[in-house]
Amino acid sequence: MGDIPALTVRRGMPSAGVNSGIGYAFADAIVLPIAPDYLIRIVDGPSRYVEIRNEEVDELNAWQVRGAFSHVYFRPGSGLEEYIRSVDRPKPSDGVYRDFYQLCEKLTRR
């Protein structure tokens, strides 16, 4: 969903992703959505297939939205637009994001 699709996660942390302070070396797993109904979770240990509840899907989607730097993408007709807009997330105009976003804007105008 977001412009940073691979999210780092750590048990006990309320959010996910490098933007939330969870670097690759600190993460318990890396989560990468590959389709609306599937994701890859890279962990240390055996591979397995697991089904999760709708509430868990919603939380993973919220992590994707909050982990996005400036853009969140969704398939038209997916019904996700209202949900995405309801997730509280930092905007590119807030805090550290503002300076980086302004720099990116300057560089893309050249």
Examine residue 83 and state whether it is found in any structural domain, yes or no.
yes
As a whole number, mean pLDDT of residues 64-73 equals 78
Examine residue 45 and state whether it is found in any structural domain, yes or no.
yes
Examine residue 79 and state whether it is found in any structural domain, yes or no.
yes
**Which DSSP letter does residue 2 get?**
B
Examine residue 41 and state whether it is found in any structural domain, yes or no.
yes
Q: Which of 32-36, 49-53, 82-86 has the highest mean pLDDT?
A: 82-86
Examine residue 2 and state whether it is found in any structural domain, yes or no.
no
Please list the alpha-helical segments (H only) found in the chain. 54-67, 81-86, 95-109
Examine residue 40 and state whether it is found in any structural domain, yes or no.
yes
Report pTM. 0.64
Domain that includes residue 36, residue range: 7-109
> What angle is formed at CA 36 by the lines to CA 38 and CA 4, rounded to 5 degrees?
85
Q: Is the pLDDT confidence value at 55 over 70?
A: yes
Examine residue 1 and state whether it is found in any structural domain, yes or no.
no
Residue 8, amino acid: T
Task: Provide the pLDDT for residue 100.
Answer: 66
Give the count of domains, the chain.
1
